[in-house]
Amino acid sequence: MNATIRGSLLAVVLSSFVAGCSSDSPTPQQTSSPAQAWVVPDTATALAAADRAAFLADLLYYNAHTQANTGGEIRGQIDKIGTVKVATLDGAQETPAVTTSAFGAGILAVNETTGQVSGFIVTSGLVNPTAAHIHQAARGAPGEIIVTLTGGPDVWVVPDNATPLTAPQIAAFQQDQLYFNAHTQANSGGEIRGQIDNSGTAKFASLDGAQETPAVTTTAFGGGVLVVNGTTGGVGGFFVSDGLVNPTAAHVHDAARGTPGDIIVPMTGGPNLWVVPDNAVITGARAMDFAADGLYFNAHTQANSGGEIRGQLDKTGTAKLASLDGAQETPAVTTSAFGGGVLAVDDTTGEVSGFMVTSGLVNPTAAHFHNAVRGTAGPIVVQLSGP
């Protein structure tokens, strides 16, 4: 398989007033816990042939463990596959525009044959959020709700058992006419919105101090995705991080592994979510460098102005998504925690990458992806970096 994530991918906020986004709209479960990031390490061992086959057969799953549930509190089968698009959420995309410092980013995968849908958004700065959805409408126009997301206040997830999209909704996805929208008490029609229209080749990165030049000793880490349209140069993406103290900025840079490079896309956000601005573009030599694995994410702090954690954007492959909840555990666990994640595996080399975001876990101890069919427990394949 080539580097393009085919029709076979933390996210942000939603907005826009629509008939039907009223008091009778379902209100997702709320939690006061902040988002927690978990990342496949940059140095993760490539998957063996058996685990690669298990990935293709939907037999891998994410599992997050806590002190109270040592066998796992929330689990998500990594079995949602399709065309992947990413979105950047902000108030400017609302109709009418909303003045807000809140922002977000998200990823959505749609199987264009079956209509199966999966994804999640990560938001920051929303005050008293009430709901988040996927709506159907072109940029600049409000539209009806087609998928209600669960979660909040800063992670929102397409439910594991979401109803498949209809044929007209699949067509709208193909035409870039779906959008994420996040609503608050102050902006019931939507405070931040993100058109789901960034598609193309996706590459993943795991950020750490070891990739900096020179290497930085730090416990901070991160994980993210960048998508570039080879025809238009349109670029979208984001990364989540944990452990940065006094972060000052984040960017997409241009250079091969082991060397520093120019800033080509300043990112917005912080302190733990960094987003490519809506409508960003890279073309020419920059796009060629992306194709050649020559771009990287870099997060800067007061203590490390040149960069504290860096992640080369050089991981590609087939991508699948997961929605995590207690119901998928064996036996099921009653919990208000939840999460969403993405995993990419290179079909040829077995190189693996990805990340997940969770919310509501109390005293988390570890997270992994395991090998087993839905409804059964299986061995650990890769341990994730986490809080």
Rounded to two decimals, what is the model's pTM?
0.89
**Cβ atoms of residues 192 and 126 within 8 Å:** yes
209 occurs within a structural domain: no
Of residues 324, 346, 24, 295, the one with CA closest to residue 151: 324
Assess if residue 205 is contained within a domain: no
**Residue 20 in domain:** no
- pLDDT tens for each residue of 217-226: 999 999 999 9
pLDDT on residue 11:
35
Per-residue model confidence as pLDDT tens digits over 208-243? 999 999 999 999 999 999 999 999 999 999 999 999
| pLDDT score of 26 | 33
Q: Which tens digits make up the pLDDT trace of 286-297?
A: 999 999 999 999
The pLDDT tens digits of the residues spanning 111-130 come to: 999 999 999 999 999 999 99
- Residue 31 counted as domain residue: no
Residue 235: inside a domain, yes or no? no
Q: So what's the pLDDT on residue 2?
A: 40
For the record, the structure tokens of 381 come out as 């394949």
Q: Which of 198, 252, 247 is nearest to 227 (CA)?
A: 198
Mean pLDDT of 142-160: 97
Taking residues 140-156, what's their average pLDDT? 96
Establish if 350 belongs to a structural domain.
no
Residue with more model confidence, 255 or 32: 255
35: in domain: no
pLDDT band at 302; cut points 50, 70, 90: very high
How many structural domains does the chain have?
1
Number of Cβ within 10 Å of residue 4's Cβ equals: 16
Query: What residue numbers bound the domain in which 168 lies?
Result: 82-195
Q: How confident is the model at residue 3 (pLDDT cuts 50, 70, 90)?
A: very low
Sheet of 60-66, strands arranged across: 74-77, 60-66, 364-371, 380-383
Q: What is the CA radius of gyration of the chain?
A: 19
pLDDT for the residue numbered 241? 96
Would you say residue 343 has pLDDT above 90? yes
Say if 289 falls within a structural domain: no
Please spell the DSSP secondary structure of 118-166, one letter per residue. Answer: EEEEEEES-SSEEEEEEEE--TTS--EEEEE-EE-SSEEE--TTPPPPP
